Homo-oligomer: A and B are copies of this chain.
């Protein structure tokens, strides 16, 4: 029997954009494709549209399943669906693969029409505001004048915040979960190690590995292993793995000894065989560059001076990557602008990854906020 709260089968769609996009770096994308999915039905003026922005390794497949793979639940299938916190019985929900991605939207592995070869290292660096511009064009394409809400976690939350700054009249509500007003220097440092792992992999070939028929698996694997540690809390790792041994006793060698090693290597291997290394680099740079206060002498309140949306800001106690203190910075800056802000700090032991998990309190908070929209 089908789950009554499941969206069921979904089919990705694609939109082509022929107007050149001038990026923050000054580089120009002459044309590009964006792959997206939609869930639920638009109302007459499409004012019930909700945009879901994805994080580092996410994509447009937010909810439901693809027919070719019954195990292919979207990455936020627990949050988006009929009767779920982001209720597709009410909202017309859109997931989009960001520009520079590796799941169908134009990215480093796409063919550059000018050269007939993959962009590779020539794909320009894209920033959070570039993504918001490309998402606004997708909204135009879909006939959406104003989103009921733009929602995202982590890097996705940064995009949601940027929407409020770049297009204040096109978004009524912003939901920023496990996000931050910028990366800490420690976060940048972790990103740099991950990038150096990829950039120095001999199979990277300066980003043009496609032409050599190899992928820099070693580097991408290390990047993912490292990232994974920072997504979890020390406590959640301790509860899940502790100092548990894979084979029950010490082997005094370099094969897997502790269970955590087995888990991390498996996660790294899996990711390295699926994800594009150039996209990983791009995503980490977008994280590093996001800093709306930078153009306002570090004054985050002024950065939100143009914002008109209402906000829900959610953080998780055990998130040491984007800590609750960073969410409080956002809240303070929004309140300084006398904006309507709901703010919840969820007690959770799952670290940064909490935003992807089912937690009763967390889901209740998002559900209540979304239910109140437009009432």
A: which residues have CB within 8 A of B?
A: 24-27, 124-125, 127, 182-186, 188-190, 192-193, 195-197, 199-202, 218, 221-222, 225-226, 229, 232, 234, 237-238, 241-243, 250, 252-254, 257-258, 260-261, 264-265, 268, 281, 285, 288-289, 291, 294
Contact = CB atoms under 8 A, between A and B. Distances in A.
A237 B189 contact: yes
A264 B193 contact: yes
Given A24-B252, A193-B229, A254-B199, A188 B288 contact: no
Main DSSP-derived SS at the A contact region: helix
B197 A258 contact: no
Contacts of A25: 250, 252
Nearest to A197: B222
A192 B243 contact: no
Of listed A189, A190, A226, residue having the most chain B CB within 10 A: A189
Contact of A186 (B195, B229, B250): B229
Contact of A291 (B243, B281, B288, B289): B243
Nearest to A233: B186
A260 B192 contact: yes
Contact of A124 (B195, B226, B252, B288): B252
B185 A257 contact: no
23 contacts: A26-B252, A27-B252, A125-B252, A127-B252, A185-B242, A185-B260, A186-B232, A186-B237, A189-B229, A189-B264, A192-B258, A192-B260, A193-B226, A195-B254, A196-B221, A200-B221, A200-B222, A202-B202, A226-B226, A252-B285, A252-B289, A254-B285, A257-B288
Contact of A190 (B26, B124, B186, B229): B229
Given A125-B253, A192-B258, 4 more contacts: A185-B242, A186-B234, A188-B243, A192-B265
A184 B244 CA distance: 11
A234 B196 contact: no
A290 B338 CA distance: 54
Contacts of A199: 254
A242 to B, nearest CB: 6
Contacts of A242: 185
A288 B226 contact: no
Contacts of A289: 250, 252
A192 B252 contact: no
A186 B183 CA distance: 21
A192 B238 contact: no
A195 B261 CA distance: 10
A193 to B, nearest CB: 5
Contacts of A261: 188-189, 192
Given A189-B264, A243-B188, A288 B258 contact: yes
